[in-house]
Homo-oligomer: A and B are copies of this chain.
Amino acid sequence: MTAYDALQEHIAALNDLLNVLNILKWDTRTQMPPGGSQTRGYQLATVSRLAREHFTSETTARLLDAAEKEIAGEDPDSYRVRAVQQTRQYYEIVRRIPADLLARRATLAPISEQVWHEAKQHNDFARFAPYLQQMLDLAREQAEAIGYEEHPFDALVFEYEPSMTAAKLQALFDALKAGLLPLLEQIVAHDRPLEKDLWAREYPLDRQRAFALEMAQRIGYDLERGRLDVAPHPFEISFTRHDVRITTRYDLHYWPMAFFGTLHEAGHALYEQNVDPALTRTALTTDFLGQYAVGGTSYGAHEASSRLWENLIGRSRAFWGAHFGRLREVFPEQLADADADLFYRAVNRVRPSLIRVEADEVTYNLHIMLRVEIEMGLLDGSLRVSDLPEVWRAKMKEYLGVVPETDSQGPLQDVHWSGGSFGSFPGYTVGNVMSAQLLDAARQQVSGLDDALTAGDYAPLLGWLTEHFYRHGRAYSADEILQRCTGRPLHVEPYLAYLRGKFSDLYGLQ
């Protein structure tokens, strides 16, 4: 056995354990009876601890040393070299995080989440504040342990978006705001109610499910290696590329929730299902720091895929031109008085609102920027926890022109911070920006792409994404992927041009 193979076999076992953690999480969120939660917690903790011990062991160091000698001089862009490099990089980082810090966070997180849940129910920010402070202190401690050059946020965002730093994000946000805020102002000025309210009708859930699954398969989601379940907080999760599961939730009236939710998660799933089979159970499908088995290279890259399929494809005029007829076969009474144009406008209505998860394409990123800027401020000390409600209201006013009347609809709306997750929000916006840059490149490189999309044929797009993006798994960073297939790193122009074009048309802007 070569030194590389010996390291790979060691990492394969770690990858198996992280896939097992994924399976336990999927079961917990979709199948487990309520009584199972306490002992499930022990099972998760034991596997997580063994995975960490396995990775941070001296065995890993010994195998790494030997593999590094063996690959010296090989192509630095090859999967072999990347696998060894990343294993080394994360080995050093993960070992810097003290086990007792992880234990303290694991103990506190469920309590903090429970308090957050109660605080949200009772609109009582003060009740949650001391727990937020503790989770923040733990996050700062982790940032110090990992190390950073400029901003503690840099150490935390690294887990989710290794190409990003606080400074790069702030520049991205400034460029986005410069385009988004004037566009939103124009849209709001031109908004008028649609002639019919399609979401006052009833859409039977079994038919919602069947149509959503049909379209998920249409874009390429493979049910031989997947399945669709119900979850209150929908997600996609993989147990290697051979078993990639998605979830959604249903509303009897508001049809877009389950449908676009399914398409979004199917967009995530397409990434995972199309990673090169050679990367299965390797470092290049292993998120060492997050203890997650995943083929996607970052949260943002993953979100680029989900948003591309959900929004750029699924909310396009071409998509409903191709599939509205089929939808009307499924819901003949509900849609008897609608046509593709009305439907297209109905699924693209823009309205500034208080709740992130209900936001449209134009306002969504403003919700994200608000959160990320607040996270940065809390981490560098320029904001205090007690400032949060006031800062939230001010930023909502500035970015969206609406202000929550309660903290439950404000800083208490998302679960992320209560569990100690800081640094994950930027992925949503990075993903949106990246999705347009990728689709632009595909349009330039695949002849006849728009004709295929108009005909409802997604194979050419999926083929291009697989060849240039999906298959590489975690071998290249989001920035490297973009550089390789679009010739430039992440930049906002394609995304802003996409939004301007689409919504100028929809809202009759000049």
Q: Which residues in A have some Cβ–Cβ distance to B below 8 Å?
A: 12-13, 16-17, 19-20, 23-24, 27, 31-40, 42-43, 45-47, 49-50, 222-227, 239-240, 242-243, 245, 280-281
Contact = CB atoms under 8 A, between A and B. Distances in A.
Given A27-B27, A224-B33, A226-B33, A20 B39 contact: no
A11 to B, nearest CB: 12
Q: Tell me whether chain A's interface is mostly helix, strand or loop, or mixed.
A: helix
A47 B16 contact: yes
A13 B227 contact: no
A38 B239 contact: no
Contacts of A242: 35-39
B12 A20 contact: no
Contacts of A32: 243
B23 A46 contact: no
B39 A240 contact: yes
Nearest to A47: B20
Given A23-B27, A37-B242, A39-B239, 10 more contacts: A16-B45, A17-B47, A20-B20, A23-B43, A33-B245, A36-B239, A36-B242, A42-B281, A43-B239, A47-B47
User: Which 6 A-B pairs have CB atoms at the shortest separation, nearest pair first?
Assistant: A36-B243, A35-B225, A16-B46, A39-B240, A35-B242, A35-B224
A71 to B, nearest CB: 24
Contact of A31 (B24, B34, B46, B227): B227
B27 A43 contact: no
A40 B36 CA distance: 23
Q: How many copies does the complex hold?
A: 2
A206 to B, nearest CB: 13
A40 B281 contact: no
Contact of A39 (B24, B46, B281): B281
B225 A42 contact: no
A430 B49 CA distance: 40
B35 A16 contact: no
A47 B32 CA distance: 21
A40 B238 CA distance: 12
A242 B17 CA distance: 23
24 contacts: A13-B46, A16-B46, A16-B47, A19-B39, A20-B24, A20-B46, A23-B23, A23-B27, A31-B31, A33-B223, A33-B224, A33-B245, A34-B224, A35-B225, A36-B240, A36-B243, A37-B242, A39-B242, A39-B280, A40-B243, A42-B281, A43-B239, A47-B47, A50-B50
Contacts of A31: 31, 227
A76 to B, nearest CB: 29
A354 to B, nearest CB: 35
B225 A36 contact: yes
Given A27-B27, A50-B50, A19 B43 contact: yes
Contacts of A39: 19, 239-240, 242-243, 280-281
Q: Which of A223, A239, A245 has the most CB of B within 10 A?
A: A239
Q: Which of A12, A35, A227 has the most CB of B within 10 A?
A: A35
Contacts of A20: 20, 24, 43, 46-47
Contacts of A240: 36, 39
Contacts of A12: 42, 46
Nearest to A34: B224
Contacts of A40: 239, 243
A243 B13 CA distance: 27
A187 B401 CA distance: 85
